[in-house]
Amino acid sequence: MLVIRPIRSTDYEALYQIAQESGHGFTSLPVNEELLRSKIARVEESFTKQVDTPFDEGYLMVLEDTETGEVVGTCGIEAAVGMVDAFYHYRLGTEVYHSEQIDVRNEVETLTLCHDYTGAAELCTLFLRSSYRKNNNGRMLSRSRFLFLAQHAKRFGETVIAEMRGESDEEGNSPFYGWLQEHFLGIDFVRADYLSGLSQKAFMAEMMPKNAVYVCLLPKEAQKVIGEVHTNTRPALNLLQAEGFRCRGYVDIFDAGPTVECHLNDIRSVRESRLLTVTIGDTPSDATSHIVSNTELENYRATAVNLAVTDDSDDVILDAQTAAALMVKDGGQIRVLPM
């Protein structure tokens, strides 16, 4: 059985391996022992912390194969970004130039550095090992976060965002970043991305262009990738768009990949998830696939299972093995979402 649970200190080696496998552009998991151990410690504290207003908490979970004990994936949610470290984006805008004298009107697209998403929750750190990318495992891992958001909404910002990886080649070179490197930052994309993941972002404020950038002055190859996603990220974007996420004109400052957003309560899976009361027993023959979680925080568990859910009942039968995996007793509650 595959079970999602909060990460713990004993998962460090598995997390380090995932950080290595995830490759360029996965800034939330730099290959750095000190940072990864610090991240795990922060997550453990977040899951036990009393929260009245979201601040800088992070909730990183792992997908465990209970038959082997192997950690095969991760998914995470940041409670409120930019509260401690600056959280930069480019905001796409338009400047209009018009002269009646010469009868010319031009609209020029601009990129302006901003902190507009400060305080928003962020979906992040979604990774599944290649051998497990089947049987809707990735879909379950990604969408399980919406059950957690629905159950613990007060712990998160009202707007939820997700940064989509932008275009880059196999060596991690970004067409958009090439222009930044040449004229402003002077370091390569991989190093800048790595420093960002380490939360060492002072160089951004010091070296990034302070004024609006005119898109038309960028190289053509850089212009073409603004707002475009990496091929490997397209499925994740499609899933989020189905949940109601949309790009509102914000892109990443390094690779120009789009950032999508949705109000927490407007996310489709948050709205459609239901709390049901458990009766432990044999699974009915008419059961269909659902994503299921308990209602706990520190002992949060989620998985996929076949359930017979009806619109006219708030009760559901859950088999004993799944109930044990979810740490749910007879008469307890679970949150469910159709797969």
Give the residue numbers marked as catalytic. Answer: 230
Distance (Å, whole) CA 277 – CA 315: 5
What are 303's two structure tokens? 């998985």
| HEC sequence for the chain | CEEEEECCHHHHHHHHHHHHHHCCCCCCCCCCHHHHHHHHHHHHHHHHCCCCCCCCCEEEEEEEECCCCEEEEEEEEECCCCCCCCCCEEEEEEEEEEECCCCEEEEEEEEEEECCCCCCEEEEEEEECHHHCCCCHHHHHHHHHHHHHHHCHHHCCCEEEEECCCCCCCCCCCHHHHHHHHHHHCCCHHHHHHHHHCCCCHHHHHHCCCCCEEHHHCCHHHHHCCCCCCHHHHHHHHHHHHCCCEEEEEECCCCCCEEEEEEHHHCHHHHHCEEEEEEECCCCCCCEEEEEECCCCCCCCEEEEEECCCCCCCEEEECHHHHHHCCCCCCCEEEEEEC
Give me the torsion for CA of 306, 307, 310, 314, rounded to 10°.
-150
HSE toward the beta carbon, residue 123, CA cutoff 13 A = 31
Q: Would strands 121-128 and 246-251 be described as parallel, antiparallel, or unpaired?
A: unpaired
Q: Indicate the residue type of 211.
A: N
Q: Which residues pair with 3 in a beta bridge?
A: 64
Q: Which residues pair with 246 in a beta bridge?
A: 261
What are 199's two structure tokens? 């939360």
